[in-house]
Structure 1
Amino acid sequence: MAWIFLIIAGALEVVWATGLKKLGIAFSWTLGALTLIAMITSLVALYAAMTRLPLGIAYPIWTGIGSVGSVLVGVIAFNQNLSTANVAGLTLLVFGMFLLGSDAH
């Protein structure tokens, strides 16, 4: 169950990061409130995951999910361009997350 909470926490990190980007483009109180709710819920889910997973596993994977997801949203929704170095970095990040998670019991 801890892994499910961690995945939810990471996905919600992408949601609130996207909300912050959209708020920077056009402010809306509704979007601001939803972004804040996503932030709080992400942290609560991370807390739930950390009750069973070590800090050194949960936190890097949470930030990694958020990083990769945010880059994908940037490419899809905001027309962000990725260089070869960006793609290589993301590939290493995903590989690193798998290595971290493979040793967690």
Structure 2
Amino acid sequence: MAWFFLVLAGLLEIVWATAMKQSAGFTRILPTVIMVVAMIASFWLLAVAMRTLPLGTSYTVWVGIGAVGAFIVGIALFGEPVTPVRLLAAGLIVAGIVTMKLAS
């Protein structure tokens, strides 16, 4: 269950990061509220996962899911550029996440 909670926490990190972008510097109320709720839930699920999983593994995987997810959302929703170097960087993050999973 810890891995399930950790993945869910990572997905919520994508939600709050996206909502933060859409909040326009916290000037739009609905995205700001979504951000705060998703952030609290994400941190809580991360803490639950850390009851069982090592700190380094938990935090690295959580950040990695959020980073790669935000990268994908940025491309899909906000038209951010897709370059070979950016794809390589995202691929390396995914490789790190997989390696952390295999190592624990």
Q: TM-score, normalised by structure 2?
A: 0.95
Partner of 1:92: 92
Match of 1:93, as an amino acid?
A: I
- C-alpha deviation, 1:29, in angstroms: 1.5
Partner of 2:60: 60
Unaligned runs of 5+ in 2: none
Aligned 1:21-36 pairs, distance under 5 A? 21-24=21-24, 27-36=27-36
Percent of residue pairs identical: 37
CA offsets, 1:25-68, max 9 Å, x none? 78321221111000000000000000000001000000000000
Matched pairs, number:
104
Aligned 1:1-105 pairs, distance under 5 A? 1-24=1-24, 27-104=27-104
CA distance in 1, matches of 2:26, 2:83: 28
Structure 1 vs Structure 2 CA RMSD: 1.3
Q: TM-score, normalised by structure 1?
A: 0.94
For residue 23 of structure 2, give the secondary structure of its aligned residue in structure 1.
Answer: helix
Match of 2:65, as an amino acid?
A: I
After TM superposition, which residue ranges in structure 1, 4 or more long, deviate above 4 angstroms? none
